[in-house]
Amino acid sequence: MQYVTINIMEEPSPKRRRSEDGYEESPPRRRQILRSPPNASPQYRLAERPARRSYSRADGADDSEDALDHRFYRDRRSTESPSPSELHARRSLTPPLPEKPTQLRYRQKLVLKGHKKGISAVKFSPDGRWIASCSADATIKIWDSKTGKLEHTLEGHLAGISAISWSPDSKILASGSDDKSIRLWDVATGQAHPVPLLGHHNYIYSLAFSPKGNMLVSGSYDEAVFLWDVRAAKVMRSLPAHSDPVGGVDFVRDGTLIVSCASDGLIRVWDTATGQCLRTLVHEDNAPVTSVYFSPNGKYVLAWTLDSCIRLWNYVEGKGRCVKTYQGHTNKKYSISGAFGVYGYPPYQYAFVASGSEDKTIVLWDVGSKNVMQRLEGHVGVVLGVDTHPIEPVIVSGGADCTVRIWRSD
């Protein structure tokens, strides 16, 4: 095993099953999905995933902290004795590693039309069955992710919707609108919960469900970050966060941390339990931060800034360090978001970052090498939201051209 030196940047760490950070499927995992009952809570699988993903490996050793990160999984693997033992043996005999792909081959499969105004966000449900898209026309549409069939149109907001978030069990969708309310929707029936979450003083700008589904964090134009108790529909905690609209919020995979970012250029990491600000990540230029996500392994923070950069921050180390910067897209004005994804086949899987761009494309970077792997062209307007399927190699995107597009890699 000594030769297995791994760069975690290229080897995506275990992913939390969150709607916004889907990744490419891998055959064994597909099997797993098939095995598990359809309504099983994803959290359980979450716990298993590190072990499952233990086959993954990569080349190129450059980042020490990543190596450290990977060792964990390697150890786990050795104890757990993975299924392809013959593979293991072969590998130890014949070291040559397969070439790491330099390109991705996503093709546009479906174009879903129906929204009357620009689409602000698209999200795969955590079980991968649905795509939710929200739009400035105050509606949310639920599409079948396989066939692209429109399942529901959720109406009830009085103004455009900026943010949506799936509950981890894929049954409830939360939406945050310009009408200052957050609504919860039962996806099965398409009905809104009669009691909205009220409390913000301006547009809701960002939303995220906690991994357990009991909390909801929302960022708003009123510069506040609210932590909601979903069941009681009440604000649990208000985080005195920022001095500009809060563009992005996210929970870490175990729900103990919250990250928020705002146009004032600050990214803040909070302790969910106490509401304490644990870290403030600032880049020199103070460029407004419009979106932020935790990496699936919870060790990094990916942030979109309006200087056409996406930065990967290691928030654990010191005061927080910018580890990678992804460039190649245009992002000067809009609050664009994206997602982590996975490519390659099980033993050799790597992570990529997908993001929309103002030049009407979707850009995919390799996480480790920062190379642009693919540019997906097809949209005729700014691509505002991009999400990856939690299992399959599918990407969904939505933009100002009022279309939702589904891209699939063969």
Partner 1 sequence: MQNENLDAIITEDKTTTTPPGDDEIHRCESGDLLNGVGSASSLASTVSSVFSNNQTTMSSYPGQTSSLHALTPLTNTDFSPPGKPLSPRSAKLSDDTMHATTASPYIAPSADLSQNVSETMTPVHTPPEHRRQARPGPGEPKGFRLFYDPMLDPKLSQLSQSEQKKPKPRYKTFGEQDDPSPPPDPRLAIAGYTSGNYVIKTGSAVAPKTKLRMAPYTLKPYAFDPRISVGPGPATQVVVTGFDPLIQESQIKALFGSYGEIAELSNKTDPNTGSFLGVCLVKYRDSRPVRGGTPIKAADAAKRAEKEGNNQRIGLREVKVQLDREGRKCKRFIAAVVEHNRKEQEKLFATDAARKPGTPVAGLTPTAITFEPPPNAPKGPSGKGMRPPEGPRLASLPKPAAHALVENEPILDKIKRKPYIFIAHQYVPVLGTTIVHLQKRLKNYQWKEVRVDKLGYFIIFEDSKRGEDETVRCYKECHMTALFTYVMNMECQQYGNPNYERSPSPERVLAEKREKEEQERLIREEEMDLEYEKKHRAEDLDPVIAALEYLKTELRDKVMSDIKARIAGPALFDYLDPERHVAKRRRLNIPDPQSQDAVRPTTYFGRGDDTPSVGTPDSRAAGFSGRFRKPLGPYDHNMFRGRRMPKVVNAFQDERRRKLPPKRPVVRGLHRQMLDFYDDDKDSDDEGRSSFTRDTEEQESRPLSRAASTDLEDEEPSIAHRSKRRRVDPGWGEESDDEMMDDAHARGLLAHLIDKDPEDMAEKELEQVLAILPRSSPIWKKADRAMKRTIKLRRSIEEADAIFFGVNHETTTVDRTEIPSVDITLEDDELAHKPVATTELEDVAKATLKKKLPKTKRKTKKQMFEEREALKAQTAATSEEVVEEEETPAAEEAKAEPEVFEPLPDTHRAEVEWGVSTDKPRRTVEDDLEIVLDIDGWQHMLKDEEDLKFLREALASEPASNVGDVHLWAWKQKQIKALNRPGEQGIIRSETKIEGYYVPNQTGCARTESVKKILELDKSKYLPHRIRVQKAREEREARAKNDPAAAAEAAKLATAAKIASTTSSRSNRANNRRLVNDINTQKQTMSAEGDTIRFNQLKKRKKLVKFDRSAIHNWGLYAEENIAVNDMIIEYVGEKVRQRVADLREKKYDMQGVGSSYLFRIDEDTVIDATKMGGIARFINHSCTPNCTAKIIRVDGTKRIVIYALRDIAKNEELTYDYKFEREIDSTDRIPCLCGSVGCKGFLN
Our finding on whether 23 is near partner 1 (CB under 8 A) is no
351 membership: H or E segment, kind and range: strand 348-356
Q: What is the DSSP string of 250-306?
A: EE-TTSSEEEEEETTSEEEEEETTT--EEEEEE-TT-PPEEEEEE-TTSSEEEEEET
Task: Please state the closest distance from residue 381 (CB atom) to partner 1, in A.
Answer: 10
User: For partner 1, which residue of 8, 46, 122, 138 counts as binding (CB under 8 A)?
Assistant: 138
Contact string 276-295 vs partner 1 (x = CB under 8 A): ---------xxxx-x-----
Residues 146-185 that bind partner 1 (CB under 8 A): 155-156, 158-163, 177-180, 183
Question: Which residue is it, tokens 């978030």?
Answer: 165
Our finding on whether 120 is near partner 1 (CB under 8 A) is yes
Our finding on whether 355 is near partner 1 (CB under 8 A) is no
Our finding on whether 306 is near partner 1 (CB under 8 A) is yes
Question: Which residue is it, tokens 């004005």?
Answer: 333
Residues 84-113 that bind partner 1 (CB under 8 A): none
Span of 43-51, 93-101, 217-225, 272-280 interacting with partner 1 by CB under 8 A: 217-225
Question: Which residue is it, tokens 């995107």?
Answer: 397
CA distance linking residue 115 with residue 110, whole number of Å? 15
Our finding on whether 126 is near partner 1 (CB under 8 A) is no
- Measured in whole angstroms, the distance separating CA 16 from the mean position of its chain's CA atoms is 9
Our finding on whether 58 is near partner 1 (CB under 8 A) is no
Q: Which is nearer to partner 1, 306 or 367 (CB)?
A: 306
Q: Which residues pair with 9 in a beta bridge?
A: none
Task: Please state the closest distance from residue 66 (CB atom) to partner 1, in A.
Answer: 30
Task: Please state the closest distance from residue 281 (CB atom) to partner 1, in A.
Answer: 15
34 membership: H or E segment, kind and range: helix 27-35
Q: Which is nearer to partner 1, 182 or 373 (CB)?
A: 182
Q: Which is nearer to partner 1, 103 or 238 (CB)?
A: 238
Our finding on whether 264 is near partner 1 (CB under 8 A) is yes
Q: How far is CA 58 from CA 14, 51, 224, 349, in A?
A: 14, 16, 41, 7
Alpha helix ranges (H) inside 36-148: 42-52, 64-80, 85-93
Our finding on whether 234 is near partner 1 (CB under 8 A) is no
SS (H, E, C) 387-402: EECCCCCEEEEEECCC
User: For partner 1, which residue of 68, 333, 377, 380 counts as binding (CB under 8 A)?
Assistant: 333
Task: Please state the closest distance from residue 282 (CB atom) to partner 1, in A.
Answer: 9
Q: Which is nearer to partner 1, 121 or 373 (CB)?
A: 121
Span of 103-111, 193-201, 362-370, 386-394 interacting with partner 1 by CB under 8 A: 193-201
Our finding on whether 340 is near partner 1 (CB under 8 A) is no
- Measured in whole angstroms, the distance separating CA 311 from the mean position of its chain's CA atoms is 14
Do residues 342 and 104 lie in contact, with contact meaning Cβ atoms separated by under 8 Å?
no
CA distance linking residue 239 with residue 153, whole number of Å? 33
CA distance linking residue 210 with residue 349, whole number of Å? 27
Read off the amino acid at residue 174.
A
Q: How far is CA 85 from CA 88, 93, 96, 400, in A?
A: 5, 12, 17, 49
User: For partner 1, which residue of 127, 169, 223, 392 counts as binding (CB under 8 A)?
Assistant: 223
Our finding on whether 218 is near partner 1 (CB under 8 A) is no
Our finding on whether 244 is near partner 1 (CB under 8 A) is yes
User: For partner 1, which residue of 121, 261, 312, 367 counts as binding (CB under 8 A)?
Assistant: 121
Helices 42-52 and 27-35, interaxial angle, to 10°? 150
User: For partner 1, which residue of 12, 128, 213, 247 counts as binding (CB under 8 A)?
Assistant: 247
Sites of contact with partner 1 (CB under 8 A) = 117-121, 135-138, 155-156, 158-163, 177-180, 183, 192, 194-196, 201-205, 221-223, 240, 243-245, 247, 263-265, 285-288, 290, 306, 333-335, 384, 400
